[in-house]
Amino acid sequence: MLTASAVLDRAFVVGPVRPRTFGTFVEHLGRCVYHGIFEPDHPQADEDGLRTDVLELVRELGTTTVRYPGGNFVSGYRWEDGVGPVDRRPARLDLAWHSTDPNTFGVDEFMRWTAKAGVEPMMAVNLGTRGVQEALDLLEYCNVPGGSHFADMRRANGAPDPYRVRMWCLGNEMDGPWQIGHKTAEEYGRLAAETARAMRMIDPDLELVACGSSNSRMPTFGEWEATVLREAYEHVDHISAHAYYYEDDGDLASFLASATDMDYFIDSVAATADYVRAARKQSKRVHISFDEWNVWYQKRAESRPPSGDDWPVAPVLLEDRYNVADAVVVGNLLISLLRHTDRVHAASLAQLVNVIAPIMTEDRGPAWRQTTFHPFALTARHAAGEVLRPAVAAPTVETAQFGEVSAIDLVATRDDDGAVVFVVNRSVTEPVGLSLDVRSLGVSRVHEAVTLANPDHTWQATAADSTSVLPRPNTSAGLDDARLSVELPPVSWSMIRLGS
């Protein structure tokens, strides 16, 4: 067995645990909306056509914010098509995913869903085929109490009270040539600044997110952020980061070290934002909204959209079936987000239902949890208070993509009730015995220790069997003389809760 040690000290605080770290994402893509959260003819649909079984799982998942309606979809979206009497709403071609959107689910349905799910809405505006005026119209519809055209339209559509949406994304992935209305950094930065300035004339207290790079492998990465922020720094609060290049392509060791890439991404964007801050002599800091992240097997058949004259409604798209190793990586990416809580002020797991999602549904059938559901739900439920930065001494494992990386990766949170340790063992073959010095935390016993692992790391949950492999009690965890010891199986994610 490999051995590792770490020290946790209550003085080594990174920053507060931010509830928005546990956001997710709903896009009009595949079966995420239609036959996902919204299925009026489902046996468990409520009066609004919302699946109550899905709502229950969303609450259990612990998601706090939901970004909507895209994603690539938003860059061709006319939000007015999705409000008002349903029988008058036009069906439109969705160029992003070569599908047809019937527009039977729109802004008002989404807002009713967020209220029932108990989550904060996070809206995106179309800066691909549209611009400043359309963003203002949508903001007016959502946030102005009444007495103006779009506010009164909302009231006439059955929502007398404004939605008061605080967070708004200024477009989506505008650096990507695949994006409808793709722009250069200079073009987008100017448009983002103009849109932000105008939106604040309606509501000065908005939190606005400028588009950062779609991934850290983009040829414009770094320079894109710098150029956009030179145009828009004074007018925005966050810059986005998106990352999906996390998949097991036959190199399991590199896959398990995926958080190394997320660390690099976050550190690079934060450094770039701070460079612009210094160059523009600004006092405020622009932080990061990591509002799309997940494991995604982009080369699989289910990630290929329809083509030709085939424009289906809600086709099966991006419906990855996740295994144990995928869940370990998702848990590790959450560790990365938490340890950067000083700069990452919001994040969105993409997506929520069916589409590269922790929750899956069958049409007119059951909803069930994928393996990735569990590390997210447990972290969202138990991470609280402050994030602590550990000092770690651990053996390394060799990876083709990232070189030598630490065999274990961990973060801890602490509040008045105790501390919680989240840790992964990245070794493909070796268990690790971890010894953790917690003497400064004032804890005296292990309240709970669970580990997600399986001898077959390729095990996948299904509708028929989603419970054979779950986080199980780790009976090796013990606390003696202010030192926590625990054995971590290979390819595993664990959570240990400590208290008095």
Catalytic residue numbers, as ranges: 173, 292
State the Cα torsion 28-30-33-36 to the nearest 10°: -160
The sign one gets for the Cα dihedral 455, 459, 461, 463 is: negative
Residues forming a β-bridge with 93? 100
Cβ 153 vs Cβ 141: under 8 Å = yes
For residues 179 and 189, what is the distance between their CA atoms, to the nearest angstrom? 16
268-275: list long-range contacts, CB under 8 Å, 24+ apart.
268/216, 268/221, 268/222, 269/212, 269/213, 269/225, 269/239, 269/241, 270/340, 270/343, 272/222, 272/225, 272/226, 272/229, 273/225, 273/229, 273/239, 275/226
Residues contacting 124, CB < 8 A, separation 6+: 67, 68, 69, 70, 71, 74, 168, 169, 171, 172
How long is the chain? 500
Neighbours of 263 (CB within 10 A): 18
Q: How far apart are alpha carbons 86 and 103 in whole angstroms?
A: 8
Selection from 411, 486, 416, 483 nearest residue 451 by Cα: 486
SS3 of 187-220: the string is HHHHHHHHHHHHHHHHCCCCEEEECCCCCCCCCC
Strand partners, 478: 485
- Dihedral (Cα; 330, 334, 337, 341), 10-degree rounding: 170
Q: Token pair for residue 347?
A: 């994040």
Q: Alpha-carbon distance 330 to 491, whole Å?
A: 12
DSSP 462: -
- The answer to whether residues 449 and 495 touch, using CB atoms and an 8 Å cutoff, is yes
* Residue among 81, 93, 198 nearest 135 (CA): 198
DSSP 174-190: TT-TTSTT---HHHHHH
C-alpha 55: how far from its chain's center? 18
Burial status of residue 238 (CB atoms within 10 A of its CB: 0-12, 13-18, 19 or more): buried
Give the angle 488-494-500 at the CA atoms, nearest 5°: 105
Phi then psi for residue 15, to 5 deg, are 165, 180
